[in-house]
Structure 1
Amino acid sequence: MSSRDEENQAEERDDGAPIEVLEAYFEARGWACERSGDGEIVASAPGSWAQYELRGVWRPDDQVLQFLAFPDIKVGDDKRAAIYETLGLVNEQLWLGHFELWSNSGLIVFRYAALIDGGEDGLSFEQAEQLSEAALEECERFYPVFQFVLWGGKSPSEAITAALIETAGEA
């Protein structure tokens, strides 16, 4: 095998490495997952409020891993203005990532991008866990906010207040 062939094989491994680590993490959790080509993986993760679709998309040219979580919330045209206001209030609460409304499908999605060093370190199993858990935690935390606006008749500010009340003590 020539050194050029070895370089090409190494590049192919590097290009898919973050997706491979995500796949290993998803499988370790027992979540159904499927690769959509070398640079993308989709998994299904259970939550308290919904079944979440998690998606990792690796862009080797930019060394960016885009991580998305879909909380299974679809917004009709009549509720879009209220949801856009809700998204603004929700996103003020986040340190990493953001929620957005995809205009074509009406789906709410949580997403963020992570710069991944293309060197030997790449994406670790622990980082894959942190990416996944952070996305799921934010979806779980804000799912009720979106539901209060869409189905509960609350204004965005009322929904945020109602959903983010911290309880004291134990029941």
Structure 2
Amino acid sequence: MMGNDEYEQDNQDAEPLDMLASYFEANGWAFQQSGDDEIAATTQGSWTQYELRAIWREDDQVLQLLAMPDIRVPDEQRAAIYETIGLINEQLWLGHFELWSSSGIVLFRHGALLGDGETLSLDQAQLLVEAALDECERFYPVFQFVLWGGKSPAEAIAASMIETRGEA
């Protein structure tokens, strides 16, 4: 993390992907920008490595942030994971988990409507990224309990919540 003085200097609004690039760089995360509308970074969490991908839709002034934990779902377990995602999403205020049907990848997605200013502050960038990573970290064990632990989605959520409370 950067010191307060560095935050003060860098806390100017900027174009969304430029601000995310600055945030990723400040955290020492590997990242690359693809054209004017996409940036991707990787970071290590408690459970797994995450790929973060941000897509800027200038026409709509929407910044979409995807956080992809390393979870791939075999075809025979997709129904259980769809149920798991449904139960998890009931608990979320912002963003949602989904399963990409083409690849079997689980991801967290959140969109931020930036409006006419078309800029992002460092505080907004930090909140968007940290919220996505926090939700991935919170629910990663649930997916593992279903995929590898043989638990039902409801059992997995109950077990995960108990373990999370126990760690605090």
TM, length-normalised to structure 2? 0.88
Distance 1:118 1:18 in 2: 12
Residue 168 of structure 1, CA deviation: 5.9
- The aligned residue for residue 81 of structure 1 is 79
Aligned partner of 1:40 among 25, 34, 38: 38
Aligned partner of 2:145 among 148, 160, 170: 148
Q: Deviations over 1:13-32 (max 9, x none)?
A: xxx91000000000000000
Distance 2:166 2:54 in 1: 36
**Shift in CA distance, 114/163, structure 1 to aligned 2, threshold 3 Å:** same
Distance 1:148 1:101 in 2: 16
Residue 73 of structure 1, CA deviation: 0.1
Distance 1:32 1:105 in 2: 24
- Superposed, 1:1-171 pairs within 5 Å as 17-119=15-117, 122-165=119-162, 167=165
Q: Deviations over 1:45-66 (max 9, x none)?
A: 1100000000100000000000
Residue 95 of structure 1, CA deviation: 0.6
Structure with the greater relative contact order (CA < 8 A, sep ≥ 6): 1 or 2?
Answer: 2
Determine which structure has more spread, i.e. the larger CA radius of gyration: 1
Residue 169 of structure 1, CA deviation: 8.8
Structure 1's unaligned 5+ residue stretches are 1-15
Distance 1:89 1:30 in 2: 34
Residue 167 of structure 1, CA deviation: 2.9
Aligned residues: 155
TM, length-normalised to structure 1? 0.87
Q: Secondary structure at the match of 2:84?
A: helix
